[in-house]
Amino acid sequence: QVQLVESGGGSVQTGGSLRLSCAASTYHVSRRYVGWFRQAPGKEREGVAVIGRLSGSTIYADSVKGRFTVSRDDAMTTVYLQMNNLKPEDTAMYYCAAGSSYKLSVNFFDYWGQGTQVTVSS
């Protein structure tokens, strides 16, 4: 069973950057795709980006295109989310998740990390 751990969250000013990491606890991962999702207070959880762990193919939400980049390491056990030009509306708890479908939807992901908080001020 795959286990995921997020890290890299924090507080930054508008226009700043953060890099989030999502590490699998074992090489024996059981899902083909890794997604980044976020949830702000009072709002539903929404998809940010998805990457194929083996293929490297990516999907981005329109709200983050041109600012965020999802990538993977050579071992295909860690996925990153590089976030540039951050805006206050990016403030949310960010989660990584593993799933079996190449879709930017929470419905297709069944293993979730604990989340890491991102706060953008100004």
pLDDT along the chain (122 residues), means of 10: 88 98 73 94 97 92 98 88 98 95 93 96 91
Q: Residue 75 has what pLDDT?
A: 79
Q: Residue 76 has what pLDDT?
A: 76
Q: Residue 122 has what pLDDT?
A: 85
Q: Residue 74 has what pLDDT?
A: 81
Task: Give exposure, 83-114, as e/b (b: 16+ Cβ within 10 Å).
Answer: beebeeebbbbbbbbbbeebebebebbebbbe
Residues in the chain: 122
